[in-house]
Amino acid sequence: MIQRLLNFLDVSPVNFLAVKALADVLTKSGYRRLDPRHPLGNVAVGDKFFVTKNDSSIYAFEIGRKPLADAGFHIICAHCDSPTFRIKPNAEITCEGDIVKLNTEVYGGPIMSTWFDRPLTLAGRVIVRGEDAMSPVTRLLHIRRPLLQISNLAIHFNRQVNDGVKLSKQKDTLPLLGIVTEELERGNLLMNIIVEELSKESAVRHEDILDFDLYLADATPACTFGVHDEFISSGRLDDLSMCYAGLEALLSSPASDTTKVLAIFDNEETGSQTKQGAGSPFLATILKRIALAQSGTEEAFFQAVEHSFMVSADNAHAWHPNYSEKYDPTNHPVLGGGPVIKFNAAQKYASDAASAAVFAEICREAGVPCQRFVNHSDVAGGSTLGNILASSLPLRGVDMGNPILAMHSCRETGAVADHIYTVRAFTRFYQ
């Protein structure tokens, strides 16, 4: 199970590739891809299908044995985007010595210093000319070798570096791409590598590349570490580890009375307010279409919502042995201690006593320990997608996630045991 998670992390350097990887597994497991432009058609017990939005969010469904109006949806939500750097248009900057660096823009809230001095690569999507202006073709790109690096300034030029250093997003974080060796390469270094990479699959011409959404990604594979291999080291554990736990549970849980939903949103790291984010009506619309296809009435959808339960799965902060003063004195979950229920008095998290009790009981039934997290009251803390979704789709639900260290580092730390625990708890939830 852990090797499958590591493989998924490696083939999912950014949102688009994560969605493709999830879609591939779903397809192999008998899920049909639906095109939301077409009528849903008949929805029968046991039907399995999925839809995507913008190639960067994905929603999978398995229709339960009972009508939706009687049993509702059991929904696991997570997000597939992670903090990174986006390549700007006209990105190439040629410097002295014909050295080319790329102009980038920060996406989300990365710990920027962790992106320095490590091999990076490029991943995302490239838009290629299609039959007409309204139908361009999307090609995914993942260059599977070290291609770029953001290099530090030597300590000899900044003796205070270990006392903390302020980083400029415009000056300090631009990665090196290469050295121009031929005149033809000047201004084309990035485009050349895109064309070369895409052409490995099927030929594409320079002039047909219309635009791209490309991002930096860690080029070092995910791995386990520790005396007993008890830890996981990887980029994007937040929140791909929860996406994959949801997928494992969806595929391994037995058929159920309740309709199972796995919803993987994009753009959580920038506030969720896009058509493919948790602030979008897209999921609610699809759920309503399913209810209408099954029963013919809108009333069935509203009843289903009242029967439903949502698990908003996004990683939590594990207690850090070097910084115990940052944590709440009585609620600081540990690595390997099991999934974490997250509480916030201002309701930045969807959990309340009633919904937390449901999830804790599911964990108990699954034989899994579970922990509780609240922020140290003098520390601001983060937010997630559960309450954003609940504001448009009034679902009962809980915010939870596996504990990790160094959230939003280029390389986060999780625990092997927690992944196994959470897959078990999710499987029980779907069951």
Query: Which residues sit at the interface with Zn ion, rule CB under 5 A?
Result: 238-239, 314
324 burial via Cβ count (<10 Å: 0-12, 13-18, 19+) = exposed
DSSP bridge pairs for 80 = none
Nearer to Zn ion, 20 or 79 (CB): 79
Provide, rounded to whole angstroms, the least separation between the CB of residue 391 and Zn ion.
18
Spatial contact of 190 and 92, defined as CB atoms under 8 Å apart:
yes
Tokens describing residue 342:
């997250």
**74 has which bridge partners?**
260, 309
Which of 348, 315, 343 has the alpha carbon at shortest distance from 330? 343
Dist CA 144 CA 126 (whole Å): 16
Distance CA 352, CA 72 (A): 20
Q: How far apart are CA 173 and CA 34, in angstroms?
A: 40
Q: At its nearest, how many Å lie between Zn ion and the CB of residue 361? A: 25
302 in Cβ contact with 393 (< 8 Å): no
Nearest to 259 by CA among 303, 215, 290, 219: 290
Find the shortest distance in angstroms from Cβ 345 to Zn ion: 20
Q: Return the SS3 of 203.
A: coil
Closest to 56 (Cα-Cα) out of 274, 245, 217: 274
Smallest distance from Zn ion to CB 403, Å: 13
Residues 30 and 63: beta-carbon distance below 8 Å: no
Is residue 251 within 8 Å of 25, Cβ to Cβ? yes
Nearest distance in Å: CB 149, Zn ion: 26
Nearer to Zn ion, 238 or 266 (CB): 238
In angstroms, give the least distance from the CB of 81 to Zn ion: 9
Gyration radius (Cα) of the chain, Å: 22
Amino acid at 74: H
Cα 380 to its chain centre, rounded Å, is 23
Please state the closest distance from residue 79 (CB atom) to Zn ion, in A. 6
Shortest separation between residue 376's beta carbon and Zn ion, angstroms: 19
Partner residues linked to 37 by β-bridges: none
Return the closest-CA partner of residue 86 out of 217, 214, 248, 249. Answer: 214
Q: Could you tell me the two tokens for 415?
A: 């625990």
Q: How far is the CB of 385 from Zn ion (least distance, A)?
A: 8
Residue 47 Cβ vs Zn ion, minimum distance, rounded to whole Å: 30
Residue 312 CB, nearest distance to Zn ion (Å)?
10
Residues in contact with 7: Cβ distance below 8 Å, sequence separation at least 6, in sequence order? none
Q: How far apart are CA 409 and CA 82, in angstroms?
A: 10
82, 240 Cβ separation under 8 angstroms = yes
